[in-house]
A and B are shown apart, each in its own frame.
With several copies, the nearest count.
Chain A
Amino acid sequence: MSDHTETPAAAGSGTETRSGARTSRVASYAQRFGILIALVVLCVVLSVANEYFLIGRNIVNVLRQTSINGILAIGMTFVILTRGIDLSVGSVVALAGVTSAAFATTSSIAAVAGGPFPVVVPLLIGLLVGAAAGAVSGLLVARYNVPAFVATLGMLSAARGLTLLFAGGRPIPALTDGYRWIGTGDVLGVPMPVVIFAVVFVASWYVLGSTKFGRRVYAAGGNPHAATVSGINVARIRLSVYVISGLMAGLAGMILAARTGSALPQAGVAYELDAIAAVVIGGTSLAGGVGHVAGTLIGALLIGVVNNGLDLMGVESYYQQVIKGVLIVAAVLLDQTRNQRA
């Protein structure tokens, strides 16, 4: 008993809360202002520095380039809110990519017998594979108390191995047009990856902010003991968030395959780092219970804008790495000093 709540160091960091759940929700967005300002400042600087940055086409590029990491980061937000972490997303991206692609390729070597199938079949397969991978990690964490870091690191390694085995180490090429549409199609001029990202974002906003499940995710992360005593099945919540993260990884894997036109077994390496970074930059605490997908969106955009801007300006690769490191820290620093207590 006596689970240690641990108000993280920032507890009560000068946030005046008076008038309510509503206000408190607004306040919680206000805490993102720091990082939002960082994003805006960065965008202003970039649009002054480079004539192409603000043109519609580049904005579409940035959004499209953010969408995969953004989708992963949203799934990751759920996991991190429960004090967990999912290192396996990059590998699951590849696993879902190749398994679904096998049902959607016109190449006779790689196809599953009878294929290619109409797009819904590979789509379901990809989601299913992602969810299954998430369920395995989730079970290990929720039911067998394996630390999330270890469980998902195991999955990172195992899923990558399975992917390579399944695909024989080679890409699965020649995907059907239906499948490719997920990555290259558009709706009223908005590219599909962006559309999917938007839908996922809105859905997660709704789920986390307005549903019972969302409250339980926050509670299970904020104080698992209190949640349990309040009759919440914390293990089930924990399991669910890994399934959600797996689903998102599955989705991202298919978008990736569809965008690149073939499913690569070595896709997605180290994607977990960017996804976690987006979440943490967005203000979600790795200690659980505190954070919001809106922050994650901004975090993901920030990373996307930095990558895009540095490429646009043709900054040399090595300098890029230095600058990127500095910028990410600077953005959070700006946020941090604003929110610091006293």
Chain B
Amino acid sequence: QDDPLKIGAAVYGLNAEFMQLWSEAAENHPAVQSGEVDLTVFDGRYDALVQQEQFETMITQGFDAIVFVPIDVEAGATAVQQAADAGIPVVGSNTRVNSDLLTAYVGSDDVQSGRMEAEAVLEKIGCEGGVVILEGPIGQSAQIQRLEGNMQALEACPDVEVLEQQTANWSRAEAQTLMENWLTAHPEGIDGIIAQNDEMALGAIEAIKAADLDVADFAIAGIDGVTDALVAVQNGEMTSILQDAKGQAQGAIDVAINAAREGGHEPLADLWQQYPDMEWADGAKGEYEVPWTPVTEENVGELLEMRQ
């Protein structure tokens, strides 16, 4: 075997659990484990410019392919352009980037998850009452798209009133404070809580507990399936929509290897078996959509097992 392929994974930030799961999965890709691929993960520190600079660094070092999880849809385009100019294929993962130079995108449709979580909440409250929405940082693509999904679901329930809608910046502590204040401002009115990620849903749960209210009286949903949320689902406190970090990461690496080898790579990741709907198609497709998995009391045990 010749020199290992040098693949870089530029992710927007590693301080929170989801991207940590993503990058761990990337490191565990069979090709990385076998030494076929030499993977370097770059922490973008939540800054579009830092990511762009990391692209410059990878270009300097002549990486063979890049997997890209941008902080921002628009700002990522320049980085992709630079890589393309240097002849390095870029595979998007998890978050979209507004560029047609991307070799492929392996991710999940945020609009869909937004709709799914909102539907879960609405179903539980019987399509009537008041809900609040805890949003991600305004302007981020996940926030925009998940909100779009939230709204699609809400349209079907005209009797539901959106009492409050505010960003808690994906943060559990911020969501907890926000929720405490909302519970005061709407002493009776809140029936459902649509949180655009799990961390914020967990914060809301803590706020409810702190106010001596019963979590069971609220319909709460989040997205991502982080470990704490899985536990909360197990306790019957919330609903979560699992975003398959492993599938996204490993799928993207397979596509990246294929692009670096200019075709002919046999995919090694589990996800191609796991999801019957996902078709490898010789790695030539522009988009691979990794399905969402609603976390239910049935599958939560198994999912938690996998986290160990």
Is A314 an interface residue when CB atoms closer than 8 A count as contact?
yes
Report Cα–Cα, A52/B140, bound state, in Å: 32
Q: Which of B39-84 contact A (CB under 8 A)?
A: 40-43, 46-50, 52-54, 56-57, 60-61, 72-75, 77-78, 81
Q: Which of A292-342 contact B (CB under 8 A)?
A: 307-308, 311-314, 316-318, 320
Q: A170-B20, A261-B202 are in contact. Are A61 and B72 (CB under 8 A)?
A: no
Is B14 an interface residue when CB atoms closer than 8 A count as contact?
yes
Contact B167 A317 (CB under 8 A): yes
Report Cα–Cα, A171/B43, bound state, in Å: 18
Is A55 an interface residue when CB atoms closer than 8 A count as contact?
yes
What residues of A have a CB within 8 angstroms of the CB of B57 in the complex? Answer: 58, 61, 308, 311-312
Interface-facing stretch out of B104-112, B205-213, B240-248: B205-213
Contact A261 B78 (CB under 8 A): yes
What residues of B have a CB within 8 angstroms of the CB of A312 in the complex? Answer: 57, 60-61, 181, 184-185
Is A267 an interface residue when CB atoms closer than 8 A count as contact?
yes
Is B177 an interface residue when CB atoms closer than 8 A count as contact?
yes
Is B28 an interface residue when CB atoms closer than 8 A count as contact?
no
Q: A170-B20, A260-B202, A262-B228 are in contact. Are A57 and B184 (CB under 8 A)?
A: yes
Report Cα–Cα, A270/B46, bound state, in Å: 11
Q: A260-B48, A261-B228 are in contact. Are A171 and B74 (CB under 8 A)?
A: yes
Interface string of A85-119 (1 = CB under 8 A from B): 00000000000000000000000010000000000
Is B33 an interface residue when CB atoms closer than 8 A count as contact?
no
Report Cα–Cα, A171/B74, bound state, in Å: 7
Is B152 an interface residue when CB atoms closer than 8 A count as contact?
no
Nearest chain A residue, comparing its CB with the CB of B173: A260
Contact B166 A311 (CB under 8 A): yes
Contact A317 B73 (CB under 8 A): no
Q: Smallest distance from the beta carbon of A97 to chain B beta carbons, Å? A: 11
Contact B52 A260 (CB under 8 A): yes
* Main SS at interface, chain B: helix
Contact B56 A314 (CB under 8 A): no
Report Cα–Cα, A260/B79, bound state, in Å: 8
Q: Which of A116-151 contact B (CB under 8 A)?
A: none
What residues of B have a CB within 8 angstroms of the CB of A308 in the complex? Answer: 53, 57, 181
Q: Which of A28-81 contact B (CB under 8 A)?
A: 50, 52, 55, 57-58, 61, 64-65, 68
Nearest chain B residue, comparing its CB with the CB of A266: B15
Is A8 an interface residue when CB atoms closer than 8 A count as contact?
no
Is B178 an interface residue when CB atoms closer than 8 A count as contact?
yes
Report Cα–Cα, A170/B307, bound state, in Å: 11
Contact A311 B52 (CB under 8 A): no
Contact A256 B41 (CB under 8 A): no
Q: Smallest distance from the beta carbon of B236 to chain A beta carbons, Å? A: 16
Q: Smallest distance from the beta carbon of A33 to chain B beta carbons, Å? A: 28
Contact A261 B138 (CB under 8 A): no
Point out the residue from B81, B167, B231 that lies within 8 Å of A173, measured CB to CB: B231
Q: Smallest distance from the beta carbon of A5 to chain B beta carbons, Å? A: 35
Is A167 an interface residue when CB atoms closer than 8 A count as contact?
yes
Is B5 an interface residue when CB atoms closer than 8 A count as contact?
no
Report Cα–Cα, A312/B187, bound state, in Å: 11
Report Cα–Cα, A64/B164, bound state, in Å: 22
Q: Smallest distance from the beta carbon of A273 to chain B beta carbons, Å? A: 12
What residues of B have a CB within 8 angstroms of the CB of A316 in the complex? Answer: 41, 166
Nearest chain B residue, comparing its CB with the CB of A160: B15
Nearest chain A residue, comparing its CB with the CB of B8: A314
Contact A58 B15 (CB under 8 A): no
Is A154 an interface residue when CB atoms closer than 8 A count as contact?
no
Nearest chain B residue, comparing its CB with the CB of A171: B74
What residues of A have a CB within 8 angstroms of the CB of B225 in the complex? Answer: none
Contact A61 B56 (CB under 8 A): yes
Is B303 an interface residue when CB atoms closer than 8 A count as contact?
no
Contact B49 A259 (CB under 8 A): yes
Residue of B15, B187, B231 with most chain A CB atoms under a 10 A cut-off: B15
Report Cα–Cα, A160/B205, bound state, in Å: 26
What residues of A have a CB within 8 angstroms of the CB of B164 in the complex? Answer: 314
Report Cα–Cα, A57/B199, bound state, in Å: 25
What residues of B have a CB within 8 angstroms of the CB of A174 in the complex? Answer: 231
Point out the residue from A109, A173, A311, A317 that lies within 8 Å of B138, measured CB to CB: A317
Is A164 an interface residue when CB atoms closer than 8 A count as contact?
yes
What residues of A have a CB within 8 angstroms of the CB of B74 in the complex? Answer: 171, 173, 260-262, 264
Q: Which of A260-279 contact B (CB under 8 A)?
A: 260-262, 264-267, 269
A: residues with CB less than 8 A from B are 50, 52, 55, 57-58, 61, 64-65, 68, 109, 160, 164, 167-171, 173-174, 184, 191, 256, 259-262, 264-267, 269, 307-308, 311-314, 316-318, 320
Besides the contacts A260-B202, A311-B57, what 20 more A-B pairs have beta carbons closer than 8 Å?
Answer: A58-B181, A61-B181, A65-B53, A68-B49, A109-B307, A164-B138, A171-B73, A173-B74, A173-B228, A260-B172, A264-B75, A267-B48, A311-B53, A311-B54, A311-B182, A312-B185, A314-B40, A316-B41, A317-B43, A318-B138
CB-based closest 6 A-B pairs: A169-B20, A317-B43, A169-B139, A261-B78, A169-B138, A311-B181
B: residues with CB less than 8 A from A are 14-17, 20, 40-43, 46-50, 52-54, 56-57, 60-61, 72-75, 77-78, 81, 98, 137-140, 144, 164, 166-167, 171-173, 176-178, 180-182, 184-185, 187, 199, 202-203, 205-206, 209-211, 226-228, 231, 307-308
Contact sample, A vs B, 23 pairs, CB 8 Å cutoff? A50-B185, A61-B180, A65-B53, A169-B14, A169-B15, A170-B20, A171-B227, A173-B228, A184-B210, A191-B210, A259-B52, A260-B49, A261-B77, A261-B205, A261-B228, A264-B74, A264-B139, A267-B47, A307-B177, A311-B181, A317-B43, A318-B14, A318-B138
